[in-house]
């Protein structure tokens, strides 16, 4: 079977001096939880935006489920951006309506169930929720879709450890052998045991793509420790 995501010679240059992603080729399989790791400015978010069709590559191509990124692939990619995009004065349940309207693969039942288990009121307005709760609501929305690929940009930054555990458990509970989850983060230690594979990026280049247990076996240290070594300043 072909990979879920096929990236070939992908490059994004904002201008000739600012190459954010440089000639990356990569095939991601189905059924994996994959960490996208790299220091600030390594090109993670630029890559993610190209996967979602929010930025056009300067060169190279991306195929998801065999199709070039576009309207069709967007219906099968569930994306959690690194900043909020939900309108503050909307109620949680109104946002559920939006998602149900927008995405055929959205399960309101699943979302309502998860909101309930966290004690989040569907009648609450987004701007009355704490930062951590808002992030949980957004993750719940994104994970309530029946997508092929989930792309989570920094889902655990800026939330407390209990919320982080909840987020990781939500990702694990929604695991499905036909879809993959790509999680970008620089907080590796917290999510290492949840990941199958890791992608290391630096200065827009692909440094390494391997399994977590491979790193541990080969280098006798955690991915977190190895990352600090590779990217030591």
Partner 1 sequence: MAWVFDDGRPIYAQLVEQLQLKIVSGVYPPGEKLPSVRELAAEAAVNPNTMQKAFAELEKSGLVITQGTNGRVVTQDGERIQDNRQALARQQGKAYFSGMERLGYARGRAMEFLQDMAGEVRE
Contact window for partner 1 (CB under 8 A) among 1-9, 123-131, 140-148, 189-197: 189-197
Confirm or reject binding of residue 137 to partner 1 (CB under 8 A). Answer: no
Residues comprising the chain, all counted = 233
| Contact status: 194 vs partner 1 (CB under 8 A) | yes
Stretch that binds partner 1, among 48-56, 70-78, 96-104, 219-227 (CB under 8 A): 219-227
- The reply to whether 169 sits near partner 1 by the rule CB under 8 A is yes
CB of 193 to partner 1, least distance (A): 5
| Terminal alpha carbon distance of the chain | 40
Q: Does 173 bind partner 1 (CB under 8 A)?
A: yes
Give the relative orientation of helices 131-143 and 161-173 as an angle to the nearest 10 degrees: 0
Say which residues have a Cβ less than 8 Å from residue 155's Cβ, sequence separation at least 6.
80, 135, 139, 167, 171, 183, 185
Residue 201 engages partner 1 in binding (rule: CB under 8 A): no
- Per-residue binding string, partner 1, 76-115, x by CB under 8 A, is ----------------------------------------
What character string, x for contact with partner 1 (CB under 8 A) and - otherwise, covers 19-48?
------------xxx---------------
Q: Measured from the CB atom, is 30 or 205 closer to partner 1?
A: 30
Question: Which span sits near partner 1 by CB under 8 A: 86-94, 122-130, 149-157, 213-221?
Answer: 213-221
The residue (of 31 and 70) whose beta carbon lies closer to partner 1 is 31
11 near partner 1 (CB under 8 A): no
The DSSP element (H or E) to which 168 belongs, if any, is helix 161-173
Which run of H or E residues covers position 49?
Answer: helix 44-51
Distance CA 17, CA 92 (A): 43
- Kindly report the CA angle at 105 between 103 and 107, in degrees rounded to 5? 100
Coil, strand or helix at 119: coil
- Of 52, 51, 44, the closest CA to residue 21 belongs to 44
Q: Is 147 in the site for partner 1 (CB under 8 A)?
A: no
Residues 6 or more apart whose CB falls under 8 angstroms from that of 230 comprise 200, 202, 207, 208
77 within 8 A of 64, measured Cβ to Cβ: yes
Residue 222 lies near partner 1 (rule: CB under 8 A): yes
The yes or no reply on residue 193 touching partner 1 (CB under 8 A) is: yes
Binding site for partner 1 (CB under 8 A): 31-33, 165, 168-169, 172-173, 175, 193-196, 212-213, 216-217, 220-222, 224-225
């Amino acid at each position: 079977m072909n990979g879920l995501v096929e990236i070939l010679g992908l490059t994004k240059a904002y201008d000739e001096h600012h190459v954010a992603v440089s000639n990356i080729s990569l095939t991601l399989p189905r059924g994996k939880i994959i960490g996208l790791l790299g220091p600030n400015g390594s090109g993670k978010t630029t890559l993610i935006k190209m996967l979602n069709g929010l930025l056009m590559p300067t060169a190279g191509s991306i195929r998801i489920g065999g199709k070039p990124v576009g309207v069709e692939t967007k219906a099968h990619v569930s994306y959690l951006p690194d900043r909020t995009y939900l309108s503050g004065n909307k109620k949680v349940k109104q946002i559920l309506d939006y998602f149900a309207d927008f995405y055929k693969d959205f399960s309101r039942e699943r979302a309502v169930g998860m909101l309930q288990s966290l004690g989040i009121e569907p009648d609450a307005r987004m701007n009355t929720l704490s930062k951590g709760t808002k992030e949980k609501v957004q993750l719940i929305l994104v994970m309530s879709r029946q997508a092929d690929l989930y792309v989570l940009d920094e889902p655990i930054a800026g939330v407390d450890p209990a919320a982080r555990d909840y987020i990781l458990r939500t990702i694990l509970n929604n695991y499905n052998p036909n879809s993959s989850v790509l999680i970008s983060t620089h907080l590796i230690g917290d999510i290492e045991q949840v990941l199958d594979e890791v992608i290391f990026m630096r200065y827009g280049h692909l440094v390494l793509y391997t399994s977590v247990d491979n790193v541990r076996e080969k280098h006798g240290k955690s991915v977190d420790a190895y990352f600090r070594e590779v990217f030591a300043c």
